[in-house]
Structure 1
């Protein structure tokens, strides 16, 4: 139930000692609009299989992911779940839905609409931080820092509307750099008001589930376009095994311990962990697009065109390299996970998959998928072996 029409924001992280912070129903509902946004940006990549098309896909993906991160980190500190907060969240959801609508032509005739919808999302977040800072004195320095940095980025986005391409997109990149740099330079301010160390990893994991879901949908959509056959069924099963392997090695080995560096002002380690999830999400969503093309190509049983081969191999390699960074950072912070070993596994498989992209010119779709799926499944086997070897040490 709502807690009145409006309540002054309070610092949620002060309550962690009494109760572990969990995702609210509102946050889960909020995530649904990002399902649509991820689907639209994946659809954009589906029609632009080239190096430039992939870079454009990344440029469109980053504001979507950053919008979600902004709302998540605000909610972990100041979410009151009253009617006022719910209405502001609804406005954000509408703005993100408009952002998704403008994605497909977001770098052409709809770039104005894409920019304005993103400005709206960030503007609402800035208002939320200003309100929180007004009512929560202990957090005022942090909220003012965020408001100033994010407002500067919004101003650049607004300026970009009056600048023709390609300079418009250069301003977008500059604004995103400022956006990403604002928390990075907040150091001591964040140390005083850190986010919830249980809530954020859960929320980041939920977003990972969203992009994995998009990959699964891509498999289903591709198979639905074809008459069911042995080759298409085989490729679809291999694609599902890749998604399952990525799910396994992420959720079985990743934790949010690097975030605790924020309590000591170590923003570099903490944000490296967080920001590494961006290429991971980009890679997972792109993997779904690549798989969809391969399933369609499997009916022809010929060598894959270079764009399709590079997309699937490059996307999976990006996922594995991102996971390697996450594991390595986790190891640096001093968790029990064997981060360096896990990182070496990921890098090795990513290198093998990139070799397939370079030298697999004559590989058929089914053979390529078998090799990529085996490289991912090997990660699961190695993780199981590493966990089994660590059990005697843990029990001794």
Structure 2
């Protein structure tokens, strides 16, 4: 372990071109968010109405943004000194406190959730101040980040002492400032771009966390039901959905936006990559709950409207997000794949609208077919003969 007072190290220039992977500390930190995402999924499973979905999204955003904040800091300022380890430990404590307060996060536990999030942002502010002190070239960026995140944290902290509904108004203002801070600092990001191999891996790991919830949903759904042909068939279709989403995301993943930003100054691509992951991971996590709801339903009874909308809408949201990433070249640039993602999302919404009266196994089968078509399309385009004809694929 390095000296206690060793400052953080800035990864720019040649360091940015080196292959870099997640550290053991980062992987350990991710474990807290496995629990948090599981708690969020549990909340949604208990109420899949429109209000339940809204509450799920409201609580998911600060959980995700908390993870994003520490991940982007570690991406730029790499150190494994004692101070950094202790600060990450504090981050883990605040994230664990958020997970504890998720169960009634919009009710009696909302003050605790707000304080936990605010303290997590305060730790991040301390880290950026520390980085700015030791690295003068990064100070314009770290100062703006520390200021914006401190203001947002103040809103969240004050909200804990304000009654509902004004408490949630302050939450909204706080998260808007949090989201706007990187956008308002674009001109200072160009010389301090994220690491081209490390950040895609970190985003992929969080995506893997929410995909894991889909697998857990299949296991939970089957284990709580009496095994029969319809239940097992539905479980297989649920795994196909999860496998298809994994395929179309990870088979196209890369550091393209960071390379484009470094070469052409297109910082907007990095931000688009960042913010489009929010609907993607929300959709994946909700899709896992949707699969579980289908497996827990009566296989011979018509699937309810909320359950049908949950599974179809969630997977549609995933395909829509991936389609946007394709369209703007944030992941593998491909007009055809983008059109297939958008078309798949549209078909799923049609199933949600006109699928009333279908049995659970038929609904999940249709969603699995739409998802697997995306994989088939990618495989078809990946043929050597196709690549020679159209360089855009």
Question: Which residue in 2 is equivalent to 1:143?
Answer: 142
Question: Which residue in 1 is equivalent to 2:94?
Answer: 95
Question: Which residue in 2 is equivalent to 1:281?
Answer: 281
Which structure 2 residue ranges, 5 or more long, are not aligned? none
Post-superposition Cα deviations, 1:301-349, rounded to whole Å, max 9, x if no partner, equal: 1111111011001100000000001111217xxx8x4521111001111
Alpha-carbon separation, structure 2, partners of 1:88 and 1:212? 28
Which structure 1 residue ranges, 5 or more long, are not aligned? none
- Spell out the pairing of 1:350-389 with structure 2 (5 A cutoff): 350-388=345-383, 389=385
Structure 2 residue 285 is matched with structure 1 residue 267: no
Question: Which residue in 2 is equivalent to 1:29?
Answer: 28
- Structure 1 residue 267: Cα displacement: 3.3
- Structure 1 residue 393: Cα displacement: 3.9
Query: Could you say what secondary structure the match of 1:127 adopts?
Result: helix
Question: Which residue in 2 is equivalent to 1:255?
Answer: 254
- Structure 1 residue 6: Cα displacement: 3.4
- Contact kept, 8 Å, 1:49 with 1:307, in 2: the verdict is yes
Aligned length in residues: 389
- Structure 1 residue 44: Cα displacement: 0.7
- Structure 1 residue 188: Cα displacement: 1.5
- Contact kept, 8 Å, 2:302 with 2:360, in 1: the verdict is yes
Alpha-carbon separation, structure 1, partners of 2:365 and 2:289? 17
Change in Cα spacing, 1:35 to 1:190, as seen in structure 2 (3 Å) is same
Q: Give the stretch that moved more between structures: 249-258 or 54-63.
A: 249-258
- Contact kept, 8 Å, 1:273 with 1:325, in 2: the verdict is no
Change in Cα spacing, 1:224 to 1:265, as seen in structure 2 (3 Å) is same
Question: Which residue in 2 is equivalent to 1:343?
Answer: 338
Query: Could you say what secondary structure the match of 1:281 adopts?
Result: helix
Alpha-carbon separation, structure 1, partners of 2:16 and 2:170? 43
Alpha-carbon separation, structure 1, partners of 2:225 and 2:70? 40
Q: Give the stretch that moved more between structures: 299-308 or 138-147.
A: 299-308
- Contact kept, 8 Å, 1:190 with 1:262, in 2: the verdict is no
Query: Could you say what secondary structure the match of 1:20 adopts?
Result: coil
Alpha-carbon separation, structure 1, partners of 2:5 and 2:28? 20
Query: Could you say what secondary structure the match of 1:16 adopts?
Result: helix
Q: How high is the TM-score relative to the length of structure 1?
A: 0.95
Question: Which residue in 1 is equivalent to 2:45?
Answer: 46
- Structure 1 residue 394: Cα displacement: 8.1
- Contact kept, 8 Å, 1:255 with 1:330, in 2: the verdict is no
- Contact kept, 8 Å, 1:215 with 1:289, in 2: the verdict is yes
Alpha-carbon separation, structure 1, partners of 2:222 and 2:188? 51
Post-superposition Cα deviations, 1:209-228, rounded to whole Å, max 9, x if no partner, equal: 01000110111011111122
Alpha-carbon separation, structure 1, partners of 2:93 and 2:38? 16
Change in Cα spacing, 1:349 to 1:300, as seen in structure 2 (3 Å) is same
- Structure 1 residue 49: Cα displacement: 1.0
- Contact kept, 8 Å, 2:200 with 2:253, in 1: the verdict is no
Change in Cα spacing, 1:242 to 1:65, as seen in structure 2 (3 Å) is same
- Contact kept, 8 Å, 1:259 with 1:273, in 2: the verdict is no
Change in Cα spacing, 1:277 to 1:354, as seen in structure 2 (3 Å) is same
Question: Which residue in 2 is equivalent to 1:224?
Answer: 223
Question: Which residue in 1 is equivalent to 2:127?
Answer: 128
- Spell out the pairing of 1:207-218 with structure 2 (5 A cutoff): 207-218=206-217
Alpha-carbon separation, structure 2, partners of 1:135 and 1:91? 21
Query: Could you say what secondary structure the match of 2:328 adopts?
Result: helix
- Structure 1 residue 15: Cα displacement: 5.0
